[in-house]
Amino acid sequence: MATLWSKGTKASDIVEDFTVGNDRKLDMALARYDVIGSKAHISMLESIGLLTADELKVLSEALDGILAEIESGDFVLEDDVEDIHSQVELLLTRRLGDVGKKIHSGRSRNDQVLVDIKLFLRDELRKVRNEMLELFAVLQSLSEKHKDVMLPGYTHGQVAMPSSFGLWFGAYAEALADDMFMVGGAYRLVNQNPLGSAAGYGNSFPLDREMTTRLLEFGDLDYNVVAAQLSRGKSEKAVASAIGGVALTLNKFASDCCLYMCPNFGFISFPDELTTGSSIMPHKKNPDVWEIIRGNCNRIMASENEISMLCSNMAHGYHRDFQLLKDILFPALELIHKCLRMTVFMLHDIRVNGHILDSPIYDYLFTVEEVNRRALEGMPFRDAYKSVGMEVNEGRFHAEKSVNHTHVGSIGNLCNDRIAAKMQKAADF
């Protein structure tokens, strides 16, 4: 196998297979970013005299050709090549000769991997942001559309107080806005340039790290070269934490949908084609989509802990353990994209039951409303509470199924416009 670090000896096939693992497959996600990072690097090398203008021109054109192959799907990682970085350098050397070998001057595979991953994660977080914004818009639209449709609220799994579909949909929209602050925080952490830190201790070449920061449109530098290497694992953990927050929101919403679709509740429904059946029970309409979303979100949330455990107990500097971060985080990112998109898809066909509270089993939802009504008329709150409680115990309570909630964030004052402004602020990255 062709390796950048080879000194003439060959690792056994068993050792190579074990240490490379899934890296070759996962590296394909980084291919375009390796080329983009390399283009910035060679521009900087030319500016400090390590490449001539002619060498920069031919290298840039060759890298553009490789990028076009990646975008068209024609790029392959050859069987005897260790990783994506080796493949790109090998292609350049084949096509350009010795000029291709100059591309690695002033960098290590360590900072090359770091910059590839940060560019990749930056784009992934932007995709997550856009998918979250699409879901947010759907939830807010449903909140406004169904703001007057009443829904039972529960605590401890027991009927508690009146709620509404407007409140329910709107709650998850605002939860996404909170999640977006975490996604933005992860983005800002990732959006720092590690290129030029080399193997973690800098370089004797007069590298212009500010130039590569501008070319790659990073928001800032990882200034200290050791700190740049310390960001390996920390960046992945921050991203895992951010998408874990989104996953927790989706997980709860999916759990609600599973419950509300149950005929014992009957609060919401979906067309037959969005549910599944049973092999022996012809009446079944199973919430398989929501169950898979719920399960996958649990897996996404687990990724942060797995990354934390992987990165513990290592001294600073690079360790091969870090290679395994891609095995954890890349599948989690793929799952969060799928779960966000599928939630949007399902919500376009959600059906809301507008007559839930017609059933007498929800009469006790309004005990608090009655207590508050009597308190507003002058009865001490504790006396009002006891009097309504006695009526409930004696079977004399009569529910007036109406609410008058007007304070900020309540059933009658959803504040969806303010929540939209919060999301706009959170998504500004």
- pLDDT score for 139: 98
Question: What is the distance between the terminal CA atoms of the chain, rounded to a whole angstrom?
Answer: 41
For the chain, how are helix, strand and coil distributed in percent, rounded to 5?
65, 5, 30
- pLDDT score for 17: 66
- CATH 1.10.275.10 location in the chain: 13-104
Averaged over 278-305, what is the pLDDT? 90
Averaged over 270-286, what is the pLDDT? 81
Q: pLDDT band at 97, cuts 50/70/90?
A: very high
- pLDDT score for 276: 82
Report the alpha-carbon distance of residue 416 to residue 422 in Å, rounded. 10
Give percent of the chain with pLDDT exceeding 70.
94
Structure tokens at 382: 């504790």
> What is the overall mean pLDDT for the chain?
93
Structure tokens at 189: 């952490």
Tens-place pLDDT, residues 147-181: 999 999 999 999 999 999 999 999 999 999 999 99
Averaged over 396-401, what is the pLDDT? 88
CATH architecture of the region 117-205+220-358: Up-down Bundle (1.20)
Averaged over 56-68, what is the pLDDT? 97
**Matching residue, tokens 């995709």:** 127
Report the alpha-carbon distance of residue 166 to residue 244 in Å, rounded. 25
- pLDDT score for 24: 72
Which residues contact residue 315 at a Cβ distance below 8 angstroms, ignoring those fewer than 6 apart?
none
Which residues contact residue 356 at a Cβ distance below 8 angstroms, ignoring those fewer than 6 apart?
150, 151, 152, 266, 267, 362
Averaged over 182-205, what is the pLDDT? 96
Query: Residue 429 above 80 pLDDT?
Result: yes
Question: How many other C-beta atoms lie within 10 A of the C-beta of residue 108?
Answer: 20
CATH 3.90.800.10 describes domain 13-104: no
- CATH 1.20.200.10 location in the chain: 117-205+220-358
- pLDDT score for 277: 73
Query: Residue 35 above 70 pLDDT?
Result: yes
Q: pLDDT band at 16, cuts 50/70/90?
A: low
- pLDDT score for 285: 85
